Amino acid sequence: VLVVPRRHAETLTDLPADEVGPFFGRVQRIAGAVERGMGAAGSFVGANNRISQSVPHFHVHVVPRNRKDGLRGFFWPRTRYASDAEAARVAGLVRAALDGPAGPAGSPPHGLST
């Protein structure tokens, strides 16, 4: 998931100070939803400032993590969804976890294995 501020800010240092706390509050909420929705043991949360920033608008990556998942530093094994329907299904899992009660990642949701 990419978490992106609505107001344009090229980098974190360009984000107005009064928006940093609320923005990272959303990042925290999304990270929890990604972990619960994807049945992940944890998450990687990261951002680039200019170097390696492919889009000149500040954004934060939230990536589900499990042991031995292949993530090395900021490089995770990137794959494509099998179909648009699969991408929509995964988005639905995260959305449902975002709308549901907060809590630890726990076991995988129905229809998803880790």
Distance, in Å, from the CA atom of 92 to the CA atom of 53, rounded to the nearest integer, reads 27
Residue 88 has pLDDT above 80, yes or no: yes
Q: Which range of residues forms the domain containing residue 51? A: 2-99
> Would residue 68 be called left, alpha or beta, if left means φ above 0 and alpha means ψ between -120 and 50 degrees?
left
Nearest one of 92, 94, 81, 87 to 31, comparing CA atoms:
94
In a domain, 107, yes or no: no
In a domain, 42, yes or no: yes
Percent of the chain with pLDDT over 70: 82
CATH label of the domain that carries residue 69: 3.30.428.10
Catalytic residues: 59
Distance, in Å, from the CA atom of 99 to the CA atom of 45, rounded to the nearest integer, reads 20
Helix (H, G, I), strand (E, B) or coil at 97: helix
DSSP 11: S
Q: For the chain, what is the domain count?
A: 1
Express each pLDDT in 33-78 by its tens digit. Answer: 999 999 999 999 999 888 888 889 999 999 999 998 887 766 666 6
In a domain, 110, yes or no: no
